[in-house]
Amino acid sequence: MLSKADLHLHTTYSDGTATVRELLAHVAQSDLKVIAITDHNTIVGAQEAARLAPEYGIEVIVGEEVSTQAGHLLALFVEAHLEPGRPLGETIAAARAQGALLIAPHPFGWLVPSIGRLGVSRRFSDPGWANLVDAVEIFNAGLWAPRSNALAAEFAAAHGLPVVGGSDSHHLPTVGLGYTLFPGRNAADLRRAIESGQTQADGVQWGMPRVAEVGALWARRSLGLTPPTHS
């Protein structure tokens, strides 16, 4: 039996619009079995979510979308905050030291800092990072250009890398739009599936109505109309 996970979610601890409890309550009503909270450059929200998860009957992986000098990197199963702004190799070494699983998110995204972005024009002529990560996010529901996901899938296939999908959700209506399918039911099963290349990735794009909705939410927050909260 295959279960569904969303491995790329943001809360109000970074640039998301849902609090931890709001996100957990939403996920509890979905078909997701496992989620990863991957706020930008912080794990505080993910740690809170992991503590609260049993109340909602779901499993939460503590993750972080850390900004490296080469672009964004998803670190899952982290135990300590990874400092942003360091070279990719240093960040990876620090993550490995705590047993983290490393994923290249939206590696060929046009409008986000992506570790494979230069490869779009060079057609993978400098794929050194392929040997540094455990998996590639080949479906990111929030990307503007679908071709970016196709390039990621081509890259993963060319280098024999496991694949994952995520919603890159910053507000509740987009949670679960991108997902990873894996054999098993819990986070430990998911990790084994990624490490053994038994995962699948799929989903649907946010679409312009959802993009406009999240843009309006961010605009309201910037104007102080909906102040961020972590409770």
Picking from 162, 215, 216, 211, the residue whose alpha carbon sits closest to that of residue 7 is: 162
Q: What is the pLDDT along the chain (231 residues), one digit of tens a residue?
A: 899 999 999 999 999 999 999 999 999 999 999 999 999 999 999 999 999 999 999 999 999 999 999 999 999 999 999 999 999 999 999 999 999 999 999 998 888 888 886 544 444 545 788 999 999 999 999 998 888 999 999 999 999 999 999 999 999 999 999 999 999 999 999 999 999 999 999 999 977 666 666 666 666 665 565 545 564
Query: What is the pLDDT at residue 125?
Result: 47
Picking from 156, 197, 202, 204, the residue whose alpha carbon sits closest to that of residue 179 is: 202
- CA–CA separation, 57 and 196 (whole Å): 26
Q: For the domain bounded by 2-222, which CATH number is listed? A: 3.20.20.140
Q: Which residues contact 90 (CB under 8 A, 6 or more apart)?
A: none
152 within 8 A of 137, measured Cβ to Cβ: yes
Query: What is the pLDDT at residue 72?
Result: 95
